[in-house]
Amino acid sequence: ETGVTQSPTHLIKTRGQQVTLRCSSQSGHNTVSWYQQALGQGPQFIFQYYREEENGRGNFPPRFSGLQFPNYSSELNVNALELDDSALYLCASSLWGGNTEAFFGQGTRLTVV
Amino acid sequence: AQSVTQPDIHITVSEGASLELRCNYSYGATPYLFWYVQSPGQGLQLLLKYFSGDTLVQGIKGFEAEFKRSQSSFNLRKPSVHWSDAAEYFCAVGRFPTNAGKSTFGDGTTLTVKP
């Protein structure tokens, strides 16, 4: 068991709506990364948060935004949902500079209709 | 820019047979290399990782992988496959040593195991 928890597990939204996904990082980890995994593809890096600030972003538009809280948990917000945003969203926690791997949560399955 | 290529989209092996999943990477510095396994609708479970040192690394569930810098490869192997190994396998490269969380993944290889 990795200790990384994500909520909700499944979500259905309508195109144009906004959604917030949540992630609690593993104890002792201070860095949270978010990934989007479309059907049949590998996870794509969205962005990472360290010390409550964004630390790198992949090729995703500004309507994808995030937050990290003092307890290192994190939120992913997506505005103006599009059909192509339907995917499994994965959160990974890690220790900055810790020479260790990242641990993934079970993901949130988002369906946009 | 870093990239990962998994040339085999789908592999089918018989139970008890050996397995090799291929992974080639492109990275401008010393890489972190990982293999993850994903069951349908689930998150990613780490099988093994390479940071430095011995180029043959052992992982969980009887898997091993060999890092070959000259070939930019990190192939995953298992001597005898079990039916429960059927899943999606992902190779990933991350930044050494500070940031394993920011990784680039391949598109995965789906493993089917025949009885």
pLDDT, one tens digit per residue, over A24-65 is 999 888 999 999 999 989 999 999 999 999 988 999 999 999
Of B53 and A36, the one with more pLDDT: A36
CB contact under 8 A, B41 and A104: no
| Cα–Cα distance, B107 to B61 (Å, whole number) | 22
pLDDT of residue A1: 47
Cβ-defined contact of A96 to B90 (cutoff 8 Å): no
Is the pLDDT at B97 greater than 70? The verdict is no
Total residue length of chain B? 115
The average pLDDT across A56-76 equals 95
d(CA A65, CA A97): 24
Question: Given B42, B98, B104, which is nearest A96 (Cβ)?
Answer: B98
Cβ atoms A102, A93 nearer than 8 A = yes
pLDDT tens figures, B66-83: 999 999 999 999 999 999
Query: Which two structure tokens, joined as six digits, stand for B64?
Result: 């091993």
Q: What is the pLDDT of residue B62?
A: 96
Nearest CB to B43 within list A41, A56, A104 = A104
User: Which of A101, A103, A109, A110 to mutate against chain B (most B CBs within 10 Å)?
Assistant: A101
pLDDT tens column, A52-62: 999 889 999 99
> What tokens does A11 get?
């979500």
Question: Do residues B24 and B53 make contact, with C-beta atoms less than 8 angstroms apart?
Answer: no
pLDDT band with cut points at 50, 70 and 90 for residue A67: very high
- pLDDT: is A1 or A40 the higher one? A40
Q: How far does Cα A11 stand from its chain's mean position?
A: 14
Q: In this predicted model, what pLDDT tens digit does every residue of B6-50 receive, in sequence order?
A: 999 999 999 999 999 999 999 877 788 999 999 987 889 999 999
The partner residue sitting opposite A33, judged by closest CB among B102, B106, B108, is B102
SS (H, E, C) chain B: CCEEECCCCEEEEECCCCEEECCEEECCCCEEEEEEEECCCCCCEEEEEECCCCCEEECHHHCEEEEEHHHCEEEEEECCCCHHHCEEEEEEEEECCCEEEEEEECCCEEEEEEC
- Side by side, the strands of the sheet bearing A19-24 are A5-7, A19-24, A74-78, A64-68
* Partners of B25 in beta bridges: B4
- Whether the link from the prior residue into A43 is cis, omega within 30° of 0, is no
Q: Which residues contact B58 (CB under 8 A, 6 or more apart)?
A: B48, B64
Judge whether A30 and A24 are in contact, CB under 8 Å. Answer: no
What pLDDT, on the 0 to 100 scale, is given for residue B30? 75
